[in-house]
Structure 1
């Protein structure tokens, strides 16, 4: 992925979504030829010349100072994820040697032990959304074999291309938007990750919906939220989730589902845990 093209697309998309009213720019008579703000309006808000901002929006940003970038971020009303994305893109343009990728594909035994100690569904994935490990109840929730033989798969590819995804996600549109935004953020941090480029390329050519969402340049970082799922054995489920970056394993994130005590989901998870429990020898006889 070309960082300069990414910067151009990102700044253009953020300018297009910001109305003059939102930015506090007076709207004069006559039709506007562009959606959102004009380049010169962003330049005025950022305190730079129109020509200079035009160069930035064409991706010629490597010489821009931090103060200028912060001013552009404020002018475009970037949230924290978007601001971080912009600075990640700038860092890439200034690297003389591409950074070695950090998308690990294995999980240490100690991390698996932590997963196994958690009573609610939990998993570990990397930045390109390769899911690498689950605990037992997490496998049961995702209808994976209890022996862990199918723990490794790419969640984005599954979500957009597997016909089972719509039956699992009741919040499918939200899930798809968030997945694309996570991949977009990951691509800025590690644009030379060949596997990530392959995933994006495959999804762009095989899913019009993915291609449309990718073109929006929305970005997102792992934090917390809600998930609305359906399991074939226990029905509709409502979870919260929290995500934790693994400091000893850069690039890996642990996602832990949370369940409201006394809720229908809590009862359903007790039933699912029973269905997923390993059989003892006396139970097999």
Structure 2
């Protein structure tokens, strides 16, 4: 039964999630639990590997560890609640908890957009201006760049959340999603939300398209610089350092553009949930694998860690 506050405001929502038979619900619980554990483990290993190896104490890897840290929270803000809903069939979430979840998730998504642009800028300086790289990408600037991405991401998300918080939710209170996201929330608002939709769309275009355009421009410059390189070895090294980042960018941006870069609220279709799973759950799982497979320095560090752990366990 829907609870209301002051006669018209919804105080709790019901997350539909993935309505299937109980056996399939338990199967989904197992799948998402395995994905969550693997994602946390992979990203923690990446952070530890970068921390333990002095050869990886470079801006590129510092930004990579920041991305891994972000991915840990990215899945933690949604998956544990999803697991609880699948296991207990208790799909209720309070209005306050829903808004907190929405704000944190959107903040992390916005931060990742800017962070991926920062990582592209790092590769641009390293390949196009290698002699100036130690001067430009020094520790102080790298720290400022990282903090700036987080501040900008959380600030843009705060504006989005404030406008959504101002809307009235009179009922129904059923969200056709597995977590509190913008479009499903807008579908339930009972007041005029045209201005809120416009603000959300403009901010989404700013936080998604500006970093994406900057990434595209940097890769055009990188491609031009690589073409002019005199030897194949230099080209291969340059491409290998960019390939993993470019793969992550393509996966992340194609899905986020589909979900968020819309002038109108998205319809409550199940396909949106499937696309959301791709960028909010599967991408954090795949990112460490993509970076490790394409990066020899990270792979060598992980091999050393595995050998050390193997030696310890064997005594």
TM range (shorter): under 0.3
Higher relative contact order (CA 8 A, sep 6+): 2
Name the structure with the higher helix share: 2
> Structure 2 length as normaliser, TM-score?
0.26
